[in-house]
Structure 1
Amino acid sequence: MQHRNRLSAALLMVLLGSSGLASAAESVLFNFVRPLDSVQVALKDAVLPDLQAETNGQGEILRRVTFNPAAQPTLSLTPAQGSWDWSQQGAMSLRLQNAMDWDLTLLVRIESLDGQQLLSRVAVPAGPAQTLLVPLLATAPIAQGMRAAPPMPWRHNGQSWLVATEVSGQLDARQIKRVELSLEQPQAAQSLLLGRFGSQSEAPLAAVYADLIDAYGQSTRRDWPGKIASDAQLKTEAAREQQQVQGWLKQRPAQDRFGGWQTSQPFEASGFFRTEQREGQWYLVTPEGNPFFSLGVNAVTPHQSQTYVTGRESMFRQLPKPGEPLAAFYGEADSRSDNAANRGRGYAQGQWYDFYAANRARSYGQADLPAWRSSALQRLQAWGFNTLGGWSEGVFSGEDRIPYTISLSIQGDFATIDSGNAWWGGVPDPFDPRFAMAVERAVAITARDHREDPWLLGFFADNEVAWAAPGGEPQARYALAYATLRLTTDVPAKRVFLKQLRDKYRNHEGLSKAWGIELRAWELMEDPGFQAPLPSAEFPAIEKDLQRFLRTYADTYFKTIADSLEWHAPNHLLLGGRFAVSTPEAVAACAQYCDVLSFNLYTREPEHGYDFAVLKELNKPVLISEFHFGSRDRGPFWGGVVEVYKEEERGPAYAQFLEKAARQPLIVGAHWFQYLDQPASGRLLDGENGHLGLVAITDRPWQGFVEQVRKANLQLPNWLKAPPAAPMPGHSAAQ
């Protein structure tokens, strides 16, 4: 205590110096450098050396706390008496600095007297001190209409703020009794430097999402090479890129008109795309009979770059005023839905703006579709791609042709089942007669204008159907079966499941014995909410029955689609279901009824995403229908499903993935997701805002990335196994 009292007025000025100045709206309760008895500090598996302060690189004095290796080392702050009333404030505030050379994830828990609590995980980067703000209400970026929040820390009004943008739970802000700071399972001692602790007004929180997007749709929070600052720069770079594209087009390797690899050992030409296996290697074959590895890009379209502005106009620095030329790119939409993809989302309806179309108009004087198609096609071919993946613009007409795919959109009033992973909606009930009608309608309409088109690679059977729930536990693996049994018998799938069990066990006593349950009557299984037991070694029949139902379910689903396609478009391939989450039963059924298995594999290498030994047993060609590598250092705030540290790592990651795919005998193609970056402020569909594209929102390609992508694509023939000679008539390929 005597040592504390000797802190001089000069030292106090240092504590509140320019780098650590308390804002006018900040209420300071406690300072770790000069602690007072009004706040009690408790430690669990952590060390706070008494009165050991240190000066950081900016001249600010802070105090070190070290979290020791343990399950959850914790520092707790509580009022010496009563509780804290923060009801007039917006956030908890804490001056802190990461004392390590790497990022730390800090777990912050704020609890009120009634036991309610808020929880937030905050990434604290290595570097200078900053002020951590944890909002006193639950919040998330999706509530602001976007998947990922702007980067933190962030400088505002001369200070560095680290705002927790994801907070869960609820709280009585009038009676705060405890704040806890902890690390989860550190493997070695980790240290933070701490200063002022208290509460803060809502002003910095409100500013987090304000003035976020510039006139070109770019983030205002960062700069990067090639960031657009003027219309003149847009035009200059567009002209320069066009020269580069024309030069690259002249260097394209010899191919047939469909992009097939011309070889001395061609296949039989059928006039349409097909598959063939030779000596264990699967190939796609062009209509002219040449091997074809599908190098595709998803979402090659100018129509997915709109972002909502209604209700969040302050997010945008400069939007066109009514009557101005660029005001032509406003529109209206409503993206609200019950899907998990939109759960908790704010700003999902109203007026939108299309920065991508506006930037094309700035660059070329127009934003018409024919000009866009010509530009996109030339780019794709110059970069070594040969296929339009899912969700792409329709057929490139006239001379502008490139092999393309179609995703069947099966919609109707048929029953669906929520497996617990209904990101895009429930799983269609294939036993509902209305499902077969919806399939017939979708296939007939879709195939009508494409059945004789040799450029069509094939049809995808929907996208990312939720065959299971997330996780590897039995509840997730068999989620669709369990969910079916919980429904009423009005649902056709439940009636099918119950019939399977009745046919096998005859009576409820037989089922009770096989499943290890006490079922007093069959009718009890018909009631909603019936909970089947988990699989166990003691009662193996449980798992066998679940698996049998799932296989019947998937068989019916894929057979319904395959039969309809065989009738309406017999010359074209059925490219599988674009699996994201799957079960062995669904994959096996897909292999039986589809020409190709397709997977959306968001992994570093293809074989990290699925067991290819299992796929080898199924002996069907595999198409990777989606993959990508994103980062957060070029505008949009989400790094994608597979994130790399920086832009310069995306190209090598692409090349490694493609080489691994080409060297896998089952894989016949890989489709990048996607052509364009998503809007930094969130796309209309679900608020995704990832830096995933080959091309920025400004219509400028990411130059370093596309150069590396092109190099990898042109290297593909060196990685592929050249097709052997065709077998003699009357002999198998194995012979």
Structure 2
Amino acid sequence: MGREARHRLPKELRGERPRSERRKSERSASGNAAPEPPAPELSAIERVRSERLALERPEPERAAPEIPRSERPIRDREGRQRVSPQSAFRERAALERRPASDPARPDSPTPPPPPRRRRYLVWTVSLLIVALTLTTGTLVALSYTDSGRDGRDRFGPKFDTLPAAPLPSETFGFYRVDKDADGRWGLRTPDGRPFYSLGVDAVRPGEDTDRATGTCTYCAAMSAAYPDPADWISATTKRLGTWGFNTLGAGSDYAMFGPSFAYVPQLDFDGSWQPGGQSGTTHDWFDPAFADHAADVVRAKVAPLAVDPYLMGWYLDDKPNWGLGQSGSTTLLEAYLALPDGAPGRLMAEQYRGDPQGFVRAAARRYFEVTTRAVRQVDRHHLILGFRASLLSTPVEVVKEAGSWVDVFSVDAFQTTDEAKEFAATLGGSSVVAAEPDLRAFHELSGRPVLVSGFTALAADAGLPNTVPGAQLVDAGQNQRAERYAQVAQTFFDAPWIVGVHWFRYVDQPAGGRTPDGADGNVGVVGLDDQPWSVLTDRMSAVNAKAPYHDGYATPTP
């Protein structure tokens, strides 16, 4: 056979060993395996004949040798090379992951499923999210009163017809205050509806101890009438709703009533602040420890309620003393100059000698800065309602400074005698806000809307002394008392800067004077025997129905 013809034959017929056999021999040699014996010499014709017979003879089936993972071949598209099932699966998966040349083909393979561990993780996270959502929704639904079936806002008022002011399109989540389309200041419920706060202070089952007898007359009457405390809660809730009230005022046990009313806790930053080692009643707000005290108050009282939508807002204090008559002084500057040497407040007061108004402004700035910032560290949602200022003895500088820190300015607007007004005017001179029936001055000085945080009326026919504190007007009987409520409340309703009126308080004070201050007045809507003063409460129901944004308040569900 010629050279050219021989080159046209396959390598096997030319007597050359296949490349796979040569590599196998090389691997065996590198592994120190014994060399194979040389094949006997055959003629070219015999060798071709034997190799043809070998190709035509069927090969017996035998297990494929184990091939390392890195050397396993991938089957080509013509299927000319045999591969293991594992290799075929991997090749098919690789081909399926390749982008199709024609994405519109109907037989395009779907993406392979994610690894088992990732699928388990996805399912676990999904189930947790669903469970959390259902639980949160259930709790929120249970915490709210019924809403929507009779037009009632779940936070208090019911609208038989929509008020003149348009409702905002969005909801707030917490109580807010703003002006309506007519320029009237008003509260807004967390649902976004207009709201006028009508409240009663000190709604609680455990009342005052008579300091003369050491007993609690109201406690005994309540226990006899309501063996189960839940019955007292149900009866009181129904009473307040029937009389047109929608808010639990300062000093109330709001935790007992659940989501039936809006409520306004009092934090008592100044009232509970007693600097160690100092005599008298002057509280040094410039002491660095006052800020630490404020942080403690916030942790204890604000943090647990920081996301409660029924909380209308925070009172910072109840009439802190701005120096008028404090420690024998007539100004706050004199009171601070009387502090011990080295006290932070005295060091500050030394810088304001001869400028009492300037020092009042500096002290007010320090008070509001410490207290409001402490609240906002924990609660950025709820309103700050001021400090329940006195109608007669609040300095002008304090009201002005408050406008930069509070959302609403609260005032206790008790009806006082002319003698009390004259005496209060001598304590602070021109620095004291002039008392007006509609509280206009407090609004104009602060630039904020006003909440009447407490007012009341007393009658001589209740069988109580009405002697302490002795500065309030006393009417002859319950009819006159009810008429005073109607007149004063209507004055407040007509003032477009007043956003609510709270009555002081739910139960009368004991005849022997309450512990510790001796207050003994007919201030309650119910007597010490738990019986309502019906003439007063009937008139309250009619008057409260005329409050702004009010077409009749729904009775809260007991």
Shorter-chain TM-score bucket reads: 0.5 to 0.7
Count residues in correspondence.
Answer: 372
Mapped partners of 1:642, 1:593: distance in 2: 33
Paired position in structure 1 for 2:409: 597
- Show structure 1 runs of 5+ residues with no match: 1-252, 313-351, 419-424, 502-531, 533-541, 721-735
Contact persistence 1:663–1:719 (CA under 8 A) = no
Paired position in structure 2 for 1:555: 365
Contact persistence 1:577–1:598 (CA under 8 A) = yes
* Deviation string, structure 1 residues 589-614 (Cα, Å, up to 9, x no partner): 22211111011111279963686246
Amino acid at match of 1:601: A
Paired position in structure 2 for 1:414: 275
Residues 1:354 and 2:232 aligned together:
no
1:57-68 equivalence runs, <5 A:
none
Mapped partners of 1:389, 1:416: distance in 2: 35
Secondary structure at 2:235 match in 1: helix
Paired position in structure 2 for 1:402: 261
* Deviation string, structure 1 residues 312-332 (Cα, Å, up to 9, x no partner): 6xxxxxxxxxxxxxxxxxxxx
Amino acid at match of 1:359: A
Mapped partners of 2:356, 2:277: distance in 1: 18
Structure number having the greater strand percentage: 1
Mapped partners of 1:416, 1:452: distance in 2: 38
Paired position in structure 2 for 1:301: 204
Residues 1:292 and 2:195 aligned together:
yes
Classify 1:358/1:660 alpha carbon distance in 2 versus 1 (closer, same or farther; 3 Å).
same
Contact persistence 2:174–2:381 (CA under 8 A) = yes
Paired position in structure 2 for 1:491: 343
Mapped partners of 1:417, 1:642: distance in 2: 37
In the TM superposition, what is the alpha-carbon distance from 1:426 to its structure 2 partner? 2.8
In the TM superposition, what is the alpha-carbon distance from 1:428 to its structure 2 partner? 2.8
Paired position in structure 2 for 1:674: 505
Mapped partners of 2:283, 2:277: distance in 1: 4
Q: Give 1:463's match in structure 2, choosing from 318, 334, 340.
A: 318
Secondary structure at 1:301 match in 2: coil
In the TM superposition, what is the alpha-carbon distance from 1:681 to its structure 2 partner? 1.8
Contact persistence 2:282–2:335 (CA under 8 A) = no
Contact persistence 2:400–2:445 (CA under 8 A) = no
In the TM superposition, what is the alpha-carbon distance from 1:305 to its structure 2 partner? 3.1
Amino acid at match of 2:175: F
Classify 1:452/1:719 alpha carbon distance in 2 versus 1 (closer, same or farther; 3 Å).
closer
Q: Give 1:388's match in structure 2, choosing from 241, 248, 251.
A: 248
Residues 1:703 and 2:534 aligned together:
yes
1:248-267 equivalence runs, <5 A:
255-260=152-157, 262=159, 263=162, 265-267=166-168
Paired position in structure 2 for 1:444: 299
Paired position in structure 1 for 2:515: 684
Classify 1:487/1:493 alpha carbon distance in 2 versus 1 (closer, same or farther; 3 Å).
same
Contact persistence 1:287–1:454 (CA under 8 A) = yes
In the TM superposition, what is the alpha-carbon distance from 1:462 to its structure 2 partner? 1.0
Structure number having the greater helix percentage: 2
Classify 1:385/1:475 alpha carbon distance in 2 versus 1 (closer, same or farther; 3 Å).
same
Secondary structure at 1:599 match in 2: strand
* Deviation string, structure 1 residues 190-232 (Cα, Å, up to 9, x no partner): xxxxxxxxxxxxxxxxxxxxxxxxxxxxxxxxxxxxxxxxxxx
Classify 1:470/1:546 alpha carbon distance in 2 versus 1 (closer, same or farther; 3 Å).
closer
Contact persistence 1:602–1:609 (CA under 8 A) = no
Mapped partners of 1:609, 1:461: distance in 2: 24
* Deviation string, structure 1 residues 421-452 (Cα, Å, up to 9, x no partner): xxxx8343221011111111111210122111
1:503-652 equivalence runs, <5 A:
542=354, 545-580=355-390, 581-603=393-415, 608=436, 612-613=440-441, 615-638=443-466, 641-652=472-483
Residues 1:273 and 2:175 aligned together:
yes
CA RMSD of aligned residues (A): 2.8
Mapped partners of 2:311, 2:439: distance in 1: 29
Mapped partners of 2:262, 2:377: distance in 1: 22
1:117-516 equivalence runs, <5 A:
255-260=152-157, 262=159, 263=162, 265-267=166-168, 268-278=170-180, 279-308=182-211, 352-364=214-226, 366=227, 368-398=228-258, 401-410=260-269, 411-414=272-275, 426-469=281-324, 476=330, 479-498=331-350, 500-501=351-352
Secondary structure at 1:592 match in 2: coil
Contact persistence 1:416–1:429 (CA under 8 A) = no
Mapped partners of 1:306, 1:629: distance in 2: 22
Amino acid at match of 2:332: L
Classify 1:353/1:652 alpha carbon distance in 2 versus 1 (closer, same or farther; 3 Å).
same
* Deviation string, structure 1 residues 311-359 (Cα, Å, up to 9, x no partner): x6xxxxxxxxxxxxxxxxxxxxxxxxxxxxxxxxxxxxxxx32221222
Mapped partners of 1:609, 1:433: distance in 2: 39
Classify 1:417/1:290 alpha carbon distance in 2 versus 1 (closer, same or farther; 3 Å).
farther
* Deviation string, structure 1 residues 290-327 (Cα, Å, up to 9, x no partner): 11111010111121232245xx6xxxxxxxxxxxxxxx
Question: Which deviates further from its counterpart, 641-650 or 260-269?
Answer: 260-269
Mapped partners of 1:657, 1:417: distance in 2: 42
Mapped partners of 2:193, 2:332: distance in 1: 41
Contact persistence 1:416–1:428 (CA under 8 A) = no
Q: Percent identity?
A: 31
Classify 1:559/1:575 alpha carbon distance in 2 versus 1 (closer, same or farther; 3 Å).
same
Mapped partners of 1:362, 1:475: distance in 2: 48
Mapped partners of 1:719, 1:394: distance in 2: 23
Mapped partners of 1:685, 1:579: distance in 2: 21
Contact persistence 2:274–2:283 (CA under 8 A) = no
Mapped partners of 1:402, 1:369: distance in 2: 18
* Deviation string, structure 1 residues 659-697 (Cα, Å, up to 9, x no partner): 110111111011100100111122123221111110011
Contact persistence 2:466–2:520 (CA under 8 A) = yes
Contact persistence 1:416–1:426 (CA under 8 A) = no
Classify 1:404/1:644 alpha carbon distance in 2 versus 1 (closer, same or farther; 3 Å).
same
* Deviation string, structure 1 residues 692-715 (Cα, Å, up to 9, x no partner): 110011110011111011111112
Mapped partners of 1:381, 1:644: distance in 2: 26
Amino acid at match of 1:570: R
* Deviation string, structure 1 residues 60-83 (Cα, Å, up to 9, x no partner): xxxxxxxxxxxxxxxxxxxxxxxx
In the TM superposition, what is the alpha-carbon distance from 1:257 to its structure 2 partner? 1.6
Contact persistence 1:417–1:483 (CA under 8 A) = no
Classify 1:589/1:617 alpha carbon distance in 2 versus 1 (closer, same or farther; 3 Å).
closer
Contact persistence 2:200–2:503 (CA under 8 A) = yes
Paired position in structure 2 for 1:160: none
Contact persistence 2:456–2:504 (CA under 8 A) = yes
Mapped partners of 2:187, 2:381: distance in 1: 14
Amino acid at match of 2:365: D
Secondary structure at 1:469 match in 2: coil
Structure number with the bigger relative contact order (C-alpha 8 A, sep ≥ 6) is 2
